[in-house]
A and B are shown apart, each in its own frame.
Chain A
């Protein structure tokens, strides 16, 4: 079995998607795992030259953009659809992890539906979708040990996903949030925006600028 982990974040460094895939990889047999990055519009062109082995399992991870799949990744999916349709790969499965800045992981549900609809246009089968809220803090807690503190719920859901991947099982979508109260996440996020804009030489009131 070979597993393709596909990072669909537009960010080439320091993304929540990368940190989620890093943890998932720890739960999989690393010998079978290949990692790919779809950061740009053209990342999946010539898909046949991208994959070193025909993937049996595709695992996508990406951030929620305006309630759906990021535009650049939709373009990649179209290229990949054509590539996958030409492969004798009817036993493959697709799994997807979507993270969002909102606290409730359930808000990724429409993006997971889009991925499932895409999957139905390929010969592969839908395995499972995972929706993770609180995406804004995932990178900042990556040094917290897996399964502990704010990472507890997320580690549990990733571990469960890894079991489904390794057994090539289908499972219902699952959703979770960081293991902290929602009001604290909201306060921390707003403090972070004030800090970020000040680091750029602007003032808090500039967050409210209207053009």
Chain B
């Protein structure tokens, strides 16, 4: 399975991506997302699952079944948009609370043996060079901490530029 998470209005998404591969699962902001509470309940109360009961509760398990994660996000200061970032914040059940040391730095241990590749596609009419650089480093850090073997990062002024990328 490939998982695509985007922050585009439904009409815009339909116009840009009219034919979608069968193996693609899509998450959009159909329901407003509750942001992470910082409670660590997904590690110590309902391990592997977020305690907030909404459509974004099972992100950890979804990532564990994905070969690829595609994020289409408006660029906010070199970061993902609030919706995409809130999804990522609510995905930490994918990893384990214990720490490991990797290349002299502390990171989290994996919960699953499975790994997915990370593709981050940022759009926005006014993405500055320094924001691109920050986004590059952020996605690299995400790939390290989510233990993604490969990552890709793209930028475009308009999300329509990504229309042909889903094959």
Contact = CB atoms under 8 A, between A and B. Distances in A.
A83 interface: no
27 contacts: A9-B38, A65-B88, A66-B89, A66-B91, A67-B141, A69-B85, A70-B89, A71-B33, A71-B82, A71-B84, A71-B85, A71-B86, A74-B76, A103-B99, A104-B106, A107-B105, A107-B106, A107-B141, A114-B76, A114-B138, A117-B77, A117-B128, A186-B99, A190-B98, A196-B44, A207-B96, A208-B96
Given A70-B89, A102-B107, A110 B137 contact: yes
Contacts of B55: none
A117 B76 CA distance: 9
> Residue among B45, B79, B131 with the most chain A CB within 10 A?
B79
B interface: dominant SS: mixed
A210 interface: yes
Interface residues of A, number: 48
Chain B residues touching A, range: 35 or more
Given A70-B36, A200-B45, A210-B112, A113 B134 contact: yes
Interface stretch (B17-25, B58-66, B151-159): B58-66
Interface of A: 9-11, 15, 40-41, 63, 65-72, 74-75, 77-78, 102-104, 107, 109-110, 113-115, 117-118, 120-121, 133, 182, 186, 189-190, 193, 196-197, 200, 202, 206-211
A208 B77 contact: no
